[in-house]
Amino acid sequence: MGGHRTIVGVNVTNVGSDMGSLAPMVEQIAERTGHLPTLLLADGGHAKFQDIVETRRMGVRVLVPASKTAAPIDKLKQDLAHPGIIAWREDMETDEAKRLYRARAGLCELANAHQKSHHGVTQFLVTGLAKVTCVILMNAIASDILQHAPRLLS
């Protein structure tokens, strides 16, 4: 059934950063749905250059602003010269990419806000990655059912 606000992937970690999570999330989405997404919108906290190159190599258009986190200057110069990074940076400058990226808040952040405000996902009564992942998966399923309830009930 799917749709723009359908949650199709989750990843719970105890890492304090989302860096490096793009390619694994795209792989998870492909595994769960049988399809690669054509477009991936993410915030700047996901913008690890190696991850952007790998995700683009999978055929997914990546729209994510450059990270504010500084890398060592030698590594940064090397990364910026990569053809995949040059293509990504050029794509991010287009009017279409800017328009698509502006839609991210209503598509992605809205689901996160609903998880917190409507589903109470702010603190967990369980511990451990496996148990927290189960809670998040159940919330994602509930969110998807509510998102598609009108079509499911018609």
| pLDDT above 90 (res 124) | no
Q: What is the pLDDT of residues 9-32, one digit of tens each?
A: 888 888 877 788 889 989 998 998
Q: What is the pLDDT of residues 49-103, one digit of tens each?
A: 888 999 999 999 999 987 665 555 456 666 778 888 889 989 999 999 999 988 8
What pLDDT does 48 receive? 83
Which DSSP string corresponds to 63-110? E-PPPSSPPPHHHHHHHHTSHHHHHHHHHHTSHHHHHHHHTHIIIIIH
